[in-house]
Structure 1
């Protein structure tokens, strides 16, 4: 068979690419298998099966059960005789494994009698695959083998993908169904395009609105049943909800609630895998279609009217609604436009009823514009009992083509949850914003005067190994990696060919051919892997973010705290001996304690350290550090205080001080580009040489008159013309004044120059400011070096 033909390709129609909706060939299914996890799929005789290792060096266990309960690898044309040890472990602890165990129990199959096979046992390159064909019906189970990784190790289990080309693709297509329910549903309702359905939901119950085939809009309204019993129509009200939320799009937490005109909370969003919806436009109306020349076209508003008549609710010409998955946009004049939805097959929104409700959902029939991708399809509505527990999540994707991932808790989440309920979504994880009994100002002062502990686990970690690992890092980052010693760390930039930044981050050297990249986003790790593959370098780049959670202990007392907690073997530096930008490998307490990697790094401008461990050890690590630090005045610190610290210290942040149009010099980190001393070529070097010879923009510090803190993106002027933008700003507790970082045209970037920051429309309100050196706080970095 043509194995390459099973892999997805970007959707392309008449020259228009839609990378967010990859196409699979007819009859092919795609099933991701998480690293360390497993997946069970029903197989029919003649189905062609392919297992692909996406990142390389990932062994895969495979077992197959026939309907009789017999397990024989030969039924797949594979050599068996292996005990599936990794799968047995995954079944006990991994979420995906619990689903597989449920499928095994339902079928009555005994995992103890499984005939296992191991694929890629001898090693594999990224993208390698193995294909085989089923000789009978059965249940296929695939496990991406691997367990917990110690923080000084570099082998983490990674995702593999299972592809199944059905022997009877037409029959398989007829049997296509929505993804499995999140729990046992109370209601499981399929709504065909051009239809609407009403249903009742009790307080505390959950509502899942699911886009079965992708690119399909669904209007939603909810009425207070208590108000209806009094003869009052009290549904989700646009103006009230907007005023109380202060946000256009739903997000978990306080901003996800929807209210009636009486300020009664009706629903809240618990999960959203898309992030792009029209919150309060009208459901499609008869008039909309009439004005387009389609009189009599079926529409959602009329469908809602029909459903609501049974509840005594008066008809309306157009219903305001939450239009899930509808992709609307506002231009500078607030004119509304729309395009195809972002939703993929299986995307959903999960809501919780905050009172007893009568709800109505539709599957939009619009086939005359891009609202439903020109092809209306069905919507699935499910309700669940209030006794279920569903984590709050905002779906995110590493790339447009990637599978959706839920917002995760870090290994240290429960430790910080002892001190706050105020968590924010950050780069796919929940991080504390402020502590309940402290607040950002107190947390800030702890970092400046004693010590503070913060969760930095969302930083992306990638293991770079192999004979060409040094050559790959030398090629992809601006610093001279050849000069980096083992146990050394260097802060660097990573750039595209045109000199724009992909990311900033640190490189840890764990051995002659062993590196760890720690950056702010996945694009940097994916870029490393792309370069290794395209240039045929003998190096592997594997994601390890979820195997390395890390807390930062920052402040003048950080060394005194950690030296009482971290044990290091004789060949490793102690915490007291550890210089700036070096790492040591140790354990908590003594030789028998949890393993950690400790680096003398941070993001606060203070003396500080980061402690890395596996999530399984996170609570023990936190508790040991807390037992010593808390009596010495250490407190937890959240994102709000961290922003104050890093702006004062002149530390840059992705999306603020730099993006892919900004080079390192313009981002204020020109020191990471040693063009004179690094002799080897690297990606972006030629462009950076041109840019440095002809600078256009420069990052500067500002001190503002008055007490108003500008917003990132506010324009900076000299008279009428705009000469730059504010990138970050804060009122400095230490300096007692408003300070900012701004990117200005080099013509106006001299120290002492007076500028004005525009507010409102940029002209009707101005904030005078003076260009000053930055960092604003401790410019000689005496504190971070511990020399105070």
Structure 2
């Protein structure tokens, strides 16, 4: 008998796998969503993490409340949703602006409430009987106290009664007050004027569509001088292929004058290597007469007196290109998804051009040209600088956010970098990374670690879940203790490293680096049949700083009040924590753990973001007599490399097990129950192939992540992290080395250029390089 196998198909996890007429939205914890629904539209609300209610307000004609049109009764307290409608919460300002635009009042007397008591994935289905505007809100406590659960995300899936065509794909809500907007139809281009200070939003309507962008100094044009965006000048000034939100954010002309500044970018993959597509490109490919962006720009810009040209130098937004090892420019499908955008601010009066690229002969537009949309916002708007962070390829994007400590940190530096969805400081004014490093080694330093992902693991099966997920024996934890652990996949490769806090019976907190940890824990609970456990994301309601260094205990014991039943700060032992308040009984609530990432005596302080500035101020004031300094990522990297502390995607990834990552001590194989990856780790331990070693490097030439390590011609290792050690006055590195070359004293060479033309001698040494017996953090 012939068996017909299913036909293979391409998987595109980056684009919504939704049929026409179906839309998917995210409602952030403490945030909201506003949608217009037509009669017959059906909505499914999904509780992503369990035990998360949804509050609903609906408005009919004239802005009057109309929950019955949604089949609901107004029976719930409206205080939470009213705070959102009045501009508070995750995206309250956007909701309030959208309501004002629709003429809807910013408040209601009662709301309907659905969900809230069930498992992850539970849903509620509702249908609109007539046209209404609906606000969905994910309520939760303002602060986490006692047994409170953090507010977590909801999904809203809309099934439209009337399926729109591709040309009517809904656009994302405007970011602010729109003064003009244009649709650039597929395979065309248009021109427009923008005043200094105004904002330009280029929206990819359907996803995977490239858009060339031109900008010229309008005043110079009036003088008969063409000064437009110049990619060579921009790359040379920035030292980057193209600008992005942050410090290196401006596009320049040939006179080195900035024309536009990138404020937001939800894609992060563009092109500035070549011209806008030209007629010659299509002719040489065998398509004479094919429309091109350059020809379209010639027609669109002629009215502004710009000379026609066969090819226009442009910013190729959403164009996925790169440089291969053979020095060739390559391209692939764009990364952009429906509704993705780039937001720029005009630094001068500009004449601009935007295209919807007509290329349908290769992967430039994923073989299918579609529309581009342009919005112009008034200069009076204020937009955060942000890129988009996605937990998984098919997740909704989240814009870069600021921690609760950011207002104080921003007074001390403008040098920030995006890290896992947050802005963190690289270095501080008037000090710099070396001075910050020495402050931590000799006195004390404070650093923002708020991007660490926090998860509340709650319920009768919480311990069983963490026992299955972690390589450490979680059952040995007592209340008030913390343990450092690895999380592994079935094949033994690492998902993440994390610390686990035991807050009480059936109450744990996992603090890791990857937001996917929560998804993985919920999936594991499902696999193991653990029904009495909830994994709730708490990152947005628990921000944290680390106070590290020999003086850290003296600083914190002055300002942390603890109740009599809790240990004082000066009593906490290594990998333990206490609960207290800043100053006194009525101060801001904090959790203080004796943990850190510096190799020194140190503590971490967890608090609600609304209390973060009060916590920062108290720490900085108490630290003045002790020489406390703020510390950025550059100094932190030197500290953690000296201390042999591992970093995700450097010392470990999903192809590296804990033994290879240098944290084999976290794997409790003897007598421990089955945990994910245990069988694979047993085999890997018996037959090791690689291990993490320390390298001491001759000379002062920098060696960084990815550098090849050789014995003779053969490569035997790769540098995972490297730095110049201020304390040792030597270059050092961590290296994943073949076990044959891992013995202390082994001589190796680090390859530069092609790995062979230039070699730097190095020697395998004991690591951690600094305080290998961990006497400092134990002190």
> Normalised by the shorter chain, which TM-score bucket?
over 0.9
* Residue in structure 2 matched with residue 6 of structure 1 by the alignment: none
- Contact persistence 1:327–1:341 (CA under 8 A): yes
* Residue in structure 1 matched with residue 428 of structure 2 by the alignment: 435
The structural deviation recorded for 1:116 is: 2.3
> In the TM superposition, what whole-angstrom CA distance separates every residue of 1:70-115 from its partner, at most 9, and x where no partner exists?
5354433334422323211222312533343344445555566544
The alignment partner of 1:49 has SS state of strand
* Residue in structure 2 matched with residue 64 of structure 1 by the alignment: 58
Distance in structure 2 (CA, Å) of the matches to 1:740 and 1:783 = 21
- Contact persistence 1:152–1:596 (CA under 8 A): no
- Contact persistence 1:151–1:597 (CA under 8 A): no
The alignment partner of 1:533 has SS state of helix
The structural deviation recorded for 1:525 is: 2.2
- Verify: 1:582 aligned to 2:565, yes or no: no
- Verify: 1:663 aligned to 2:665, yes or no: no
- Contact persistence 1:506–1:518 (CA under 8 A): yes
- Contact persistence 2:580–2:591 (CA under 8 A): yes
* Residue in structure 2 matched with residue 118 of structure 1 by the alignment: 113
* Residue in structure 2 matched with residue 4 of structure 1 by the alignment: none
Q: Are residues 616 and 113 of structure 1, via their aligned partners in 2, closer, same or farther at CA, if it must alter by over 3 Å?
A: closer
Deviates more, 1:620-629 or 1:599-608: 620-629
- Contact persistence 1:245–1:254 (CA under 8 A): no
* Residue in structure 2 matched with residue 540 of structure 1 by the alignment: 534
- Contact persistence 1:280–1:321 (CA under 8 A): no
- Contact persistence 2:400–2:421 (CA under 8 A): yes
Deviates more, 1:134-143 or 1:210-219: 134-143
Distance in structure 1 (CA, Å) of the matches to 2:359 and 2:109 = 50
The structural deviation recorded for 1:175 is: 4.9
The structural deviation recorded for 1:137 is: 2.1
* Residue in structure 2 matched with residue 463 of structure 1 by the alignment: 456
Q: Are residues 56 and 295 of structure 1, via their aligned partners in 2, closer, same or farther at CA, if it must alter by over 3 Å?
A: same
> In the TM superposition, what whole-angstrom CA distance separates every residue of 1:351-387 from its partner, at most 9, and x where no partner exists?
1222232221101111222211222111111222322
Distance in structure 2 (CA, Å) of the matches to 1:210 and 1:59 = 33
The structural deviation recorded for 1:138 is: 1.8
* Residue in structure 2 matched with residue 751 of structure 1 by the alignment: 744
Distance in structure 2 (CA, Å) of the matches to 1:325 and 1:585 = 48
* Residue in structure 2 matched with residue 20 of structure 1 by the alignment: 14
Which residue among 701, 721, 728 is the counterpart of 1:728? 721
Distance in structure 2 (CA, Å) of the matches to 1:13 and 1:346 = 31
The alignment partner of 2:648 has SS state of coil
- Contact persistence 1:64–1:115 (CA under 8 A): no
Which residue among 159, 166, 169 is the counterpart of 2:160? 166
Distance in structure 1 (CA, Å) of the matches to 2:763 and 2:692 = 13
Distance in structure 2 (CA, Å) of the matches to 1:228 and 1:67 = 49
* Residue in structure 1 matched with residue 209 of structure 2 by the alignment: 216
Distance in structure 2 (CA, Å) of the matches to 1:80 and 1:187 = 38
The structural deviation recorded for 1:541 is: 1.0
Q: Are residues 259 and 502 of structure 1, via their aligned partners in 2, closer, same or farther at CA, if it must alter by over 3 Å?
A: same
Aligned pairs for 1:557-596 (under 5 A) are: 557-596=551-590
- Contact persistence 2:479–2:504 (CA under 8 A): yes
Provide the alpha-carbon RMSD of the alignment.
1.8
* Residue in structure 1 matched with residue 273 of structure 2 by the alignment: 280
- Verify: 1:178 aligned to 2:171, yes or no: yes
The alignment partner of 2:612 has SS state of helix
Q: Are residues 667 and 152 of structure 1, via their aligned partners in 2, closer, same or farther at CA, if it must alter by over 3 Å?
A: farther
The alignment partner of 1:726 has SS state of strand
Which residue among 305, 309, 317 is the counterpart of 1:316? 309
* Residue in structure 1 matched with residue 444 of structure 2 by the alignment: 451
Distance in structure 2 (CA, Å) of the matches to 1:103 and 1:653 = 42
- Contact persistence 1:154–1:463 (CA under 8 A): no
The structural deviation recorded for 1:163 is: 2.0
* Residue in structure 1 matched with residue 363 of structure 2 by the alignment: 370
* Residue in structure 2 matched with residue 127 of structure 1 by the alignment: 121
The alignment partner of 1:409 has SS state of coil
* Residue in structure 1 matched with residue 96 of structure 2 by the alignment: 101
Deviates more, 1:515-524 or 1:246-255: 246-255
- Verify: 1:491 aligned to 2:481, yes or no: no
> In the TM superposition, what whole-angstrom CA distance separates every residue of 1:419-473 from its partner, at most 9, and x where no partner exists?
1111111111000111101111111111011111110000011111111111110
> In the TM superposition, what whole-angstrom CA distance separates every residue of 1:517-576 from its partner, at most 9, and x where no partner exists?
111111222211111123331211111111110000001110001000000011111001
- Contact persistence 1:424–1:430 (CA under 8 A): yes
Distance in structure 2 (CA, Å) of the matches to 1:167 and 1:427 = 38
> In the TM superposition, what whole-angstrom CA distance separates every residue of 1:618-668 from its partner, at most 9, and x where no partner exists?
011111111111222101111011011000000010111111100000000
Distance in structure 1 (CA, Å) of the matches to 2:721 and 2:107 = 58
Which residue among 519, 522, 527 is the counterpart of 1:526? 519
- Contact persistence 1:503–1:524 (CA under 8 A): yes
Distance in structure 2 (CA, Å) of the matches to 1:277 and 1:73 = 44
Deviates more, 1:336-345 or 1:449-458: 336-345
Which residue among 400, 415, 419 is the counterpart of 2:412? 419
The alignment partner of 2:622 has SS state of helix
Aligned pairs for 1:610-689 (under 5 A) are: 610-678=604-672, 680-689=673-682
Q: Are residues 107 and 297 of structure 1, via their aligned partners in 2, closer, same or farther at CA, if it must alter by over 3 Å?
A: closer
Q: Could you list the runs of 5+ residues in structure 1 that have no partner in the other structure?
A: 1-11
Aligned pairs for 1:13-412 (under 5 A) are: 15-67=9-61, 70-92=64-86, 93-94=88-89, 96-107=91-102, 109=104, 114-121=109-116, 123-150=117-144, 155-170=149-164, 175-412=168-405
The alignment partner of 2:567 has SS state of coil
* Residue in structure 1 matched with residue 3 of structure 2 by the alignment: none
The alignment partner of 1:576 has SS state of helix
- Contact persistence 2:29–2:90 (CA under 8 A): no
State the aligned residue count: 772
Return the TM-score normalized by structure 2.
Answer: 0.96
- Contact persistence 2:709–2:716 (CA under 8 A): yes
Distance in structure 2 (CA, Å) of the matches to 1:154 and 1:115 = 23
- Contact persistence 2:30–2:90 (CA under 8 A): no
Q: Are residues 309 and 175 of structure 1, via their aligned partners in 2, closer, same or farther at CA, if it must alter by over 3 Å?
A: closer
- Verify: 1:771 aligned to 2:750, yes or no: no
Distance in structure 1 (CA, Å) of the matches to 2:145 and 2:497 = 22
The structural deviation recorded for 1:339 is: 1.7
Distance in structure 2 (CA, Å) of the matches to 1:645 and 1:487 = 27
> In the TM superposition, what whole-angstrom CA distance separates every residue of 1:1-59 from its partner, at most 9, and x where no partner exists?
xxxxxxxxxxx996110001022223222232111122222222222121111111001
* Residue in structure 2 matched with residue 8 of structure 1 by the alignment: none
